[in-house]
Structure 1
Amino acid sequence: MIKSPLQIARESYAPKMPKALKGSVKIVEGKETESVADQADIKKMFPNTYGMPLLTFEPGEAAPTAARNVGVILSGGQAPGGHNVISGIYDGLKKLNPENKLYGFLGGPGGLVDNEYVELTADIVDHYRNTGGFDIIGSGRTKLEEEDQFEKALVNCKDLNITALVIIGGDDSNTNACVLAEYYKAKGAGVQVIGCPKTIDGDLKNEMVETSFGFDTACKVYSELIGNIQRDANSAKKYWHFIKLMGRSASHIGLECALQTQPNICIVSEEVEAKQMTLDDVVTYIAEIVAKRAEKGENFGTALIPEGLVEFIPAMKKLIAELNDLLAHNEDKVNALEGNKEKREFVADLLSADSKEVFVSLPNSIANQLMADRDPHGNVQVSLIETEKMLIDMVKAKLKVWKKEGKFKGKFKGQPHFFGYEGRCAAPSNFDADYCYALGNTASVLIADGKTGYMASVRNLTASSDEWIAGGVPVTMMMNMEKRHGEMKPVIQKALVRLDGAPFKKFVEKRDDWAENTKYVYPGPIQYFGPSEVCDITTKTLQYEQK
């Protein structure tokens, strides 16, 4: 790999660590835990890993540990900082016993099942410190759900003399990690399973996991891009930029980027659902702000749109559910029709009256995507819907009507953007580099103490890194029962934007001012070197939540 000057400089960066992880560690057990909901069901399904205590680390004397082999897996989409989690695990294991070995399973959980691996040695790990991406071992989306997979993985672990696994992933991956931990503990397999919280969407968090890694870096990357676009908008003064941002299930990224850049509009999906807003309500809200700014001669602006917006609009959610069922039962008939117009008309006639009204109101391009883009389960892939383009077209149409009625006298030109992949593999911010390294070291301590079914936890993140609190939280504590593919299953509860939370309240306090007045903030690129108040700052979300 050819290294850039920045990468060469970053390799020498020594991540900051909580005081408790700098030397020998003593584990302090707290109170026993219970799941966030459905306690009886979760306890019944996880009899061996339910109710375990919270763990906190303190400086102390550690007993010598025998040499052991550990496996690590990167699961799901990339998030900045994954390489530092692995380097933290590696350094933590070597500190405990220089004879410890770390094996990386290639391509995600599938590598564990298929026995594809590499031993991670110093020359490999050192090459990836403080870098973005998951390319050290690759990632994948194979779900560890079947007993046959568990048994194949166990055979592979035994062949390599692996006695512990660390699964680095999001809510689904850590749910599967807990299922695996329960299975191995129930049969006395001698393999521990520890999780680490990863997702740039920010929806894996609770009182013990204040943020998932990668969220800080991704939001800073997107905010830099948004700031650049806003400066261009304020310079050219002729375009409205509609920017779709990652976050299918939650609007944390959109909200954080709004707090960092102060755009004219930011739609929060959770608010749309809570207020039972229609698609026309959303379009009208945007058009009214465009019109107000036009009255002041400002025919430009920025609007942040969450990726999963359409799933939170009740009427659209109903339409999508009907389409999933309709297309599954009429696939051959729809495919037999030649043109998209004929397909739209055929589908529209089979929908309920309410859903038909919504469907025919959509731009043809969006209606076509709703019909054609389906996943292997037959569901419409809403993440592929070009929501930003749909809203531009619908706002433009509404403003055209208002112009005829004399309600709008300005100009409107929309420019669509989608920021997703741009942030997933960015070089981690100092915060994510430090946080991830601490998570990896925490995982190594949990392994050394024989724990299983725990997730590494590092808290008190708005304080200096010295004061961060490291420990472990039982994964069952985060679980509830939800319907997945028609069946009730135990899953880690997703953390959506709380409308009564401090970050959203701060946004609501400011958004009307930002809507009418141009008060853009241009955050600029991530800073790695310089004063701590510039380089080590956390997200606005964390700052407001921890006040």
Structure 2
Amino acid sequence: MTISALQSERAKYQPKLPNSLQSSVKLVEGKNTQSVADQDEIKKLFPNTYGMPLITFEAGEKKQYPAVNVGVILSGGQAPGGHNVISGIFDGIKNINPESKLYGFLGGPGGLVDHSYVELTATVIDEFRNTGGFDIIGSGRTKLEETAQYDKGTEIMKELGIKALIIIGGDDSNTNACVLAEYYAAQNTGIQVIGCPKTIDGDLKNDMIETSFGFDTATKVYSELIGNVERDATSAKKYWHFIKLMGRSASHIGLECALQTQPNITLISEEVELKKQTLGEIVDYMAGIVAKRAANGENFGVALIPEGLVEFVPEMKILISELNDLLAEGSETEQKFKSFTSKTEGRAFVAGILSAESAKVYTSLPSGIADQLTLDRDPHGNVQVSLIETEKLLGEMVKSKLKEMKKVGEFKGKFGTQYHFFGYEGRCAAPSNFDADYCYSLGYNASFLIAEGKTGYMSSVRNLTAPAAEWIAGGVPVTMMMNMERRHGHMKPVIQKALVELDSAPFKFLAANREKWAIETSFVYPGPIQYWGPTEVCDQPTKTITLERAK
């Protein structure tokens, strides 16, 4: 296999560990925990794993641990650093006892159910250290929700002598890990389950999980690209660049990239929802900034738009809900709609069956976006919101607004657009030094949680704005993060998703500077991720966590 010069050099990098994990550990129990909400319901559902204490590891005297066979699963979408989590697990269990073995289940949780696995040896692991992607064993989105799946997992783990399973994933995957831990505890299988916090979206976090892994690298990759676009904008001086950023439910990526690059416009979905901003109000805000910059002779700029914005705009949310009901698979209206050969006739039909308010919104949309709302649907017949080209929707609507403003003398400039979507570009990037260290520490830490007999915990490494040697390692019960939410018509226990908080330090910093950044050209050009050089350049955490943890 041919590898790049960078990959060859990165393979030699030895990730840094917290001091407490560099030899043997002493387990220190903190206070008992409770769920963030719905305590009675969560406790009833998780009698064996609810209320466990927080755990912190301190440096301790050398212990003798028995050999342990461990299974690992990568679950959900990719995030930079997953390979280092697995490397950390491997090195950790081998440090605890050289006879320990690590097995990877292939293709995500489905590999556990289908008994598809591979033993991860040093030869295999060494090829993937400090690399991006999840290709060492692959990932998948199979949900472990049925007892038959759990029992199939028990079969193969008993066969391989696996005493513990580590699930690397986001909020849904770690919710599944918690359910699995509870089931195995109730069945007295002796199998432990530990979770690791992964998602580039940054929405799996709390006081004990300061950030999910991959967020640092992904936002640095996007920020480099945004900085490049900003440089192009200031060079050409003739385009407004509308950039959609990955992150459907939360706007953490957009916020972090804004703090890194200081664009002219940054939309935050959570702010739109709280203020109940209409699509028209958002367009007016954006057009107003375009006009002000044009008055200064600057017919260019950069706008950041979160992927899931349309779901947070009240009238769009209602419209999408109505369309999901009216055009449900197999319904009479869906069959009627499909009978039209002309898109124009189809749009007219849809407008006629919507409520008056939704019809008004629908007919105001550019025809291409209106078609996306009715033609691109998932297997359940629902609008695929992630496929809506929100950046083009806003660009076209701003263009129309500026034409109106020009007629009355409120806009005298020019408006040309370029559209971008930055998403997949960041998910499998080679991890930054921060993510390389953080992920390795999460995996190494998980091996001690297993050695100490814990289950139903998520690997936790905190104090992340300090040097890695001072990071605090331990574990947090997954039930502590849970609440009850309606999913598919039923109330289910899930890890509470962390959205952007509008009273947080990162958002307040954006809010305090957005007016200046809007009118002035205050662009910052972060450049590519640096792996070698001064600590100030190579090892810095995100602006988000730096502002959140500022004393």
Question: What band does the TM-score fall into relative to the shorter chain?
Answer: over 0.9
CA distance in 1 between partners of 2:44 and 2:359 (Å): 44
- 1:535 equivalenced with 2:514 (yes/no): no
2:372 is aligned, of 359, 369, 373, to 369
CA contact (8 A) 1:94 1:100 kept: yes
Contact 2:23–2:62 (CA under 8 A) maintained in structure 1: no
Counterpart residue type for residue 494 of structure 2 = V
Name the CA distance, whole Å, in 2 between partners of 1:194 and 1:377. Answer: 32
The secondary structure found in structure 2 opposite 1:291 is helix
In the alignment, is the contact (CA less than 8 A) between 1:19 and 1:466 conserved in 2? yes
**Distance in 2 between residues matched to 1:54 and 1:376, nearest whole Å:** 41
**Equivalent in 431, 434, 438 of residue 435 of structure 1:** 438
Name the aligned partner's letter for residue 140 of structure 1. Answer: G
Query: Is 1:334 matched with 2:332?
Result: no
Could you say what secondary structure the match of 1:188 adopts? coil
Where 1:230 maps in the other structure, the secondary structure is helix
Whole-angstrom distance in 2 between the partners of 1:409 and 1:162: 70
- Choose which of 477, 484, 488 in structure 1 pairs with 2:487: 484
Aligned to 2:155: 155
TM-score under structure 2 length normalisation: 0.99
The alignment partner of 2:461 has SS state of: strand
Q: Deviations over 1:243-262 (max 9, x none)?
A: 00011000000000000000
1:16 aligns with 2:6: no
In the alignment, what sits opposite 2:246? 246
Aligned pair partner of 2:346 in 316, 321, 343: 343
Matching of residue 450 in structure 1 with residue 453 in structure 2: yes
Q: Secondary structure at the match of 1:128?
A: coil
Alignment of 1:32-181 (within 5 A): 32-181=32-181
> Is residue 2:541 matched to residue 1:525?
no
Deviation of the 1:347 alpha carbon: 1.5
Q: CA deviation at 1:62?
A: 4.5
**TM alignment of 1:249-328, pairs within 5 A:** 249-328=249-328
- Which region of structure 1 is more displaced relative to structure 2, 323-332 or 138-147? 323-332
Q: Distance in 1 between matches of 2:115 and 2:61?
A: 37
- Correspondence for 1:500 among 497, 500, 503: 503
Which whole-Å CA distance do the structure 2 matches of 1:62 and 1:361 have between them? 69
1:138 partner letter: G
User: Given residue 440 of structure 2, which amino acid in structure 1 is its aligned partner?
Assistant: Y
- Residue pair 2:108, 2:141 contacting (<8 A) in 1 also: yes
Q: Which amino acid aligns with 1:166?
A: I
Q: Write the letter of the residue equivalent to 2:398.
A: V
2:225 equivalent in structure 1: 225
Q: Secondary structure at the match of 1:86?
A: helix
Question: For residues 126-181 of structure 1, what are the alpha-carbon distances to aligned partners after superposition, in whole Å with 9 as ceiling and x for unaligned?
Answer: 11000000000000011111111111111111111111100000000000000000
* Structure 2 partner of 1:357: 360
- Of the three residues 475, 479, 483, the one matched with 2:478 is 475
- What is the rounded CA distance, in whole Å, between the counterparts of 1:360 and 1:149 in structure 2? 47
Secondary structure at 2:152 match in 1: helix
In 2: Cα distance, 1:62 partner to 1:35 partner: 34
Q: In structure 1, the residue corresponding to 2:178 is in which secondary structure?
A: helix
> How far is 1:336 from its partner?
1.9
SS at match of 2:127: helix
User: Secondary structure of 2:123's match?
Assistant: helix
- Corresponding residue number in structure 2 for 1:213: 213
**Length, aligned pairs only:** 547
- How many angstroms does 1:394 deviate by? 0.4
Q: CA deviation at 1:338?
A: 1.4
1:322-348 Cα shifts (integer Å, max 9, x gaps): 111111133222222212222211121
Q: Alpha-carbon deviation of 1:61?
A: 2.1
Q: Take 2:177 and 2:6, find their aligned partners in 1: how far apart are those partners? A: 35
What does residue 515 of structure 1 align with? 518
Q: How many angstroms apart in 2 are the aligned matches of 1:477 and 1:235? A: 51
- 1:64 Cα offset (Å): 1.4
Name the CA distance, whole Å, in 2 between partners of 1:533 and 1:512. Answer: 28
CA distance in 2, matches of 1:438, 1:320: 43
Task: Structure 2: give runs of 5+ residues left out of the alignment.
Answer: none
Residue of structure 1 in register with 2:548 after alignment: 545
What residue in structure 1 maps to residue 400 of structure 2? 397
1:515 Cα shift? 0.2
- 2:2 is paired with a residue whose SS is coil
Deviation per CA, 1:352-391: give whole Å up to 9, x if none.
1111111111111111111112222222110000000111
- Same amino acid, percent of matched pairs: 72
TM-superposed CA distance for 1:77, in Å, is 0.4
Tell me how large the CA RMSD over aligned residues is. 0.7
CA distance in 1, matches of 2:56, 2:62: 14
Compare 92-101 and 401-410 and name the one that shifted more. Answer: 401-410
Distance 2:321 2:307 in 1: 18
The residue type equivalent to 2:495 in the other structure is I
2:420 counterpart of 1:413: no
Contact (CA 8 Å) 1:26, 1:62: kept in 2 or not?
no
Paired residues of 2:71 and 2:103 also in contact (CA < 8 A): yes
> Which structure 1 residue ranges, 4+ long, deviate > 3 Å from structure 2?
none
Encode CA deviations 1:412-442: one digit per residue, 9 max, x unaligned. Answer: 0010000000000000000000000000001
1:321 partner amino acid: S
* Distance in 1 separating the partners of 2:152 and 2:31: 35
How far apart, in 2, do the equivalents of 1:185 and 1:358 lie? 52
Distance (whole Å) between structure 2 residues aligned to residue 342 and residue 102 of structure 1: 59
Structure 2 residue 428 is the aligned partner of structure 1 residue 425: yes
Cα drift, residue 97 of structure 1: 0.5
What secondary structure is seen at the aligned counterpart in 1 of 2:94?
Answer: helix
The separation in 1 between residues aligned to 2:439 and 2:430, in whole angstroms, is 12
Unaligned segments of structure 1, at least 5 residues:
none
3-state DSSP of counterpart to 1:488: strand
Letter paired with 1:106: L
* Deviations, residues 470-524 of structure 1 (Å, cap 9, x unaligned): 0000000000011111111100000000000000000011110000000100000
Question: In the aligned structure 2, how far is the partner of 1:101 from the partner of 1:335?
Answer: 56
